[in-house]
Amino acid sequence: MNIIFISSQSAQARKIVLTKLHLIALAGAMVITVLLLALSLNFFSLRYADRIEAPVLKALLVSPQEKRHQKIQSQLHDNLNVMAVRLGKMQAQLLRLDAISAQLLEFSELEPDDFMLDRLPGQGGANTNLRTEALSFSGFERKLHELSRILEKRSDKLGALETLLRSERLSKRVMPSVMPIDTDWYSSGFGFRIDPFTGRRAFHEGVDFPAKTGTPIRAAAGGVIVYSDRHSQYGNMIEIDHGDDMISRYAHASKLHVVVGQVVTQGQEIAEVGSTGRSTGPHLHFEIRHKGVPQNPSRFLKKSG
């Protein structure tokens, strides 16, 4: 191949002769130049693409693979944020379950150490040669969602159980079931007896607990004082309203320690044993009435210890 150069400043023309070898060398140089340029662009796209501010230049330098990689990283970051929020909710649910479990143990009067709520349960087993599978990201997310749903259901059920136990415990506290006086026997039971004053058969609406004058009298259950005064038959008498039309009565006391409208708790001292009113000697006359009808206190009372 001959290439002739003609110049306006020179009358003599120049001729360059290109052989086949020259053409091959020129083509090789062009290929090498293109490859070097491509490698340089790839290097800059991977090393400095995140620092480039110009959108057009950045779009030219960032390769499609890098764009896909960035998209995948962005999706993973978003998924991790969602999982972090879900994990935070699960941690809050676990704290609530721990609190409810502790209260349930308290209501049931079981030993908390037997359940080890503050420690992970032991696990183990022999190593297996069976095929194992790695947990995928989607599988992990699915398991996390299932666990969150289970925690919500367990939390609701334990919450309902706590409410029932709390209500039952409250009912026990307002039920006159604690002995009003520290004694193991009574001198006169509930029902028909021979009246000590008339000698005739009469119905006794409570039980009589003999004790020394000044012996503490305690509330058989919590409630509100509705009567605390002198009575013509019962002497110094106290009545406690426990709710649900249930009233307990304490008669023949020597001293009264509570007033009408006062709220008392189960086992609280409210009076002292005496022999006031229609009485033959120091004792506590104790009654339980439901809707005005006298009940047998033996059905309610239980000895302490």
Structure tokens at 67: 């764009």
Sign of CA dihedral 94, 100, 101, 102: positive
Q: What is the pLDDT of residues 195-243, one digit of tens each?
A: 888 889 999 999 999 999 999 999 999 999 999 999 999 999 999 998 8
* CA distance linking residue 176 with residue 219, whole number of Å: 8
Residues of the chain short of pLDDT 50, as ranges, are: 304-305
Structure tokens at 40: 């340089």
Residue written as token pair 């919450």: 159
Supply the DSSP symbol for 121: P
Are the beta carbons of 277 and 252 closer than 8 angstroms? Answer: yes
The size of the chain, in residues, is 305
* CA distance linking residue 275 with residue 254, whole number of Å: 7
Are the beta carbons of 301 and 291 closer than 8 angstroms? Answer: no
From 23, 63, 21, select the one nearest 39 (Cα to Cα).
63
Structure tokens at 174: 């307002």
What pTM was computed for the model? 0.50
Structure tokens at 60: 């030219």
Q: Under CATH, domain 191-299 is a member of which superfamily?
A: Glucose Permease (Domain IIA) (2.70.70.10)
Predicted local distance difference test score (pLDDT) of residue 281: 93
Helix pair angle (64-108, 137-173), 10° resolution: 20
Predicted local distance difference test score (pLDDT) of residue 305: 40
**Residues contacting residue 246 through CB under 8 Å, at least 6 positions apart:** 174, 175, 176, 288, 289, 290
* CA distance linking residue 117 with residue 99, whole number of Å: 10
